[in-house]
Amino acid sequence: MHGVDILPIGQLLSHLWRRPKASTLLGIGPMSPLIIEASLDLAEEHHFPVMFIASRNQVDIDDYGGGYVSRWDQERFAHDIARVAHRTGFAGIYYLCRDHGGPWQRDEEYKAALDEREALERAKASYVADLKAGFDILHIDPTKDPHRESLPLELVMERTVELIEYVERKKLELGIERQIGYEVGTEETKGGYINPGVFKGFLKELIGRLAQKGLPEPDFIVGQTGTLVRMGTNVGEVDINLAGTLAAIAKDYAVGFKEHNADYLSNEQLELHPRVGITAANVAPEFGHIQTRAYLAEYQREMELVGKKSSSDFYGILVSEVLASGRWQKWLVPEHGGSTIESLQEDPAKLRQIIEACGHYVFDRPVIIEAINQMYANQAKSGDYHGPDRVYERVKSGIERYVLHLNLSGVLDKGLPGELPSYTGA
């Protein structure tokens, strides 16, 4: 279910806080159409609400370059999810969420060091496109600025209020009656934001300023818990006690505490999330990583069946496309240093690591799609017709790990109290 009748995220959070069994919502990065379908499949099976979190690099206005996922702008993104939901008979709840909306949040905008006026205009136009496409939750994140090494929290607050005020005004102009949820803060904020005292002061002051202008309070605030994703692993040091402290502060203001970069955390770490009150956690690159490795496993199977010379050469084509994209450079860990394409080609192990972590950036390229189809066709000629199913199941299993360990199963079960409608799925 999605649209005007969807349960506002604030009411869902109230419901979660009333439940005797704590749960942590999962924000799923829409790294591919296959990941979206697997997410909806799992939501139907386990009865939990899906939150699709799209960054501006992944989904944005065509005039700004669109998104690297399926060349989606906001309308096509929303339409394609709705189409999958309809085709599969999905009867649960899903939310369209803007992740890291705001000025300079597209990589090319930051690299070009756009001036403040143009960066803000682009951010506002992107939010308007989000509204028109039916997004439910908008992350207001004005914490990137190529012209400043570190932004003062006062400036972050001013820009946050300005952007929420703008979105609410445009919402009225567009005649949109549904509630829009807001997420504020970021895991990247510098200047002591993770200090509990500073965190509380920021949230209290922000809510006060929003109230003075008659604007809605945020539903989520993001805080740094120590997570940091680099090249297929979480290299951060999660401070679960700090996370619990920040989550408790946020809940005192009826705001959910959200963690970003929860990719690759262990099952034991995930199980602690509901216990300490983390309301939601975002995962994106890991799911793309799983899909890439699933394709590579099928490529290995293809070569075993037909031989390398007769194969699709999927890996060789994937290497060429990933390196040409240049997007792999942002994920380098310190030991990779200033890797060049030439140096990577001389180090097969390092190259493989980069390709596995960054393959999702090029899933939509025609040459990749053609290679995947050829790989499956070669398997089928040898009597193996289950390659696509194996890839799907590996992706689904990777997402399900989070569903189970974050206690999401049954969040939308029938007969729940409060405002939440009965689950209508099978």
Per-chain mean pLDDT for the chain: 91
What residues does 184 pair with on adjacent strands?
A: 140, 221
Query: Within the chain, which residue ranges are assigned CATH 3.20.20.70?
Result: 9-283+396-405
CA torsion, points 46, 83, 423, 274, in degrees to nearest 10?
A: 40
pLDDT tier at 150, thresholds 50, 70, 90 = confident
Give dist(CA 223, CA 195) in Å, integer. Answer: 10
pLDDT surpassing 90 at residue 352: yes
Q: Where are the alpha helices (DSSP H) in 106-231?
A: 107-111, 116-133, 153-173, 196-212
| 419: amino acid identity, one letter | E
pLDDT at position 193 is 54
In this model, does residue 2 exceed pLDDT 80? no
- The torsion angles phi and psi of 34, rounded to 5 degrees, stand at -65, -40
**CATH 2.70.150.10 corresponds to the domain 9-283+396-405:** no
Q: What is the pLDDT of residues 176-232, one digit of tens each?
A: 999 999 999 987 644 445 689 999 999 999 999 999 999 999 999 999 888 887 777
CA distances from 365 to 91, 318, 322, 420 (A): 31, 10, 10, 41
Dump pLDDT digits (tens) for 239-278. Answer: 999 999 999 999 999 999 999 999 999 999 999 999 999 9
pTM for the predicted model, two decimal places: 0.93
Q: How confident is the model at residue 425 (pLDDT cuts 50, 70, 90)?
A: very low
CB contact at 8 A, 374 and 20: no
Given a cut of 90, whether residue 420 has pLDDT beyond it is: no
356: Cα separation from own chain's centroid: 18
Secondary structure of residue 21 in the 3-state scheme: coil
Q: CA-CA distance, 168 to 155, in Å (whole number)?
A: 20
Residue 337 pLDDT: 58
Rounded to whole angstroms, the Cα distance separating 139 from 218 reads 9
Answer yes or no: are the C-beta atoms of 216 and 245 closer than 8 Å.
no
